[in-house]
Amino acid sequence: MISTKIQDAINAQINAELWSAYLYLSMGMHFESEGNAGIANWFRIQFKEEQAHAEIFINYLISRGGRVILKPIEAVPTTWESPLAAYVATLEHEQKVTALINNLYALAEEEHDYATRGKLDWFVAEQVEEEETAQALIDRLKLIGDNGLALYMLDQELASRVYNVPSPLAAKA
């Protein structure tokens, strides 16, 4: 059985993951309407990944005898001045998510909940990847500057991104 403290913290994380999904869906819709289908695709894939992260936490909480309590998702922004601004916002958001995961990890240690700590190892590594990817796109967009052709080429590249089921969910399939 999972402790009430851990259950509440995981429920808060589920809400945060669903908010993240909603944010990335909003970003995708914004860039779709701006004619940047590749950037929109990149954010739609992020939307799916964040939904999967929430599902991983949901499955874990249920497997430990906990109760999932879904709460309302706060509103998200709906416009960004440029792709660079959106990816800067993405990096800042992922850094906040990293802090949430780290806090959850610390709580699991404090509660001597080694099963939860073990489950969180995957998320710790995932957050390193999320931040690294956002930073790489920021760096590329800074190099691109106002070069429309270079932005078009990046947009085309991002259009080829595909969704891969995260390993903790693939194991359940």
pLDDT tens digits in sequence order for the chain, 173 residues long = 899 999 999 999 999 999 999 999 999 999 999 999 999 999 999 999 999 999 999 999 999 999 999 999 999 999 999 999 999 999 999 999 999 999 999 999 999 999 999 999 999 999 999 999 999 999 999 999 999 999 999 999 999 999 999 999 987 65
Range of the domain at 89: 4-163
In a domain, 171, yes or no: no
Residues with Cβ within 8 Å of 47's Cβ and at least 6 positions away in sequence, in order, are 21, 22, 24, 25, 28
Residues with Cβ within 8 Å of 166's Cβ and at least 6 positions away in sequence, in order, are 49, 52, 53, 56, 122, 126
In a domain, 113, yes or no: yes
Q: With beta carbons less than 8 A apart as the criterion, state whether 11 and 68 touch.
A: yes
Domains identified in the chain, total number: 1
The enclosing domain of 42 has a CATH number of 1.20.1260.10
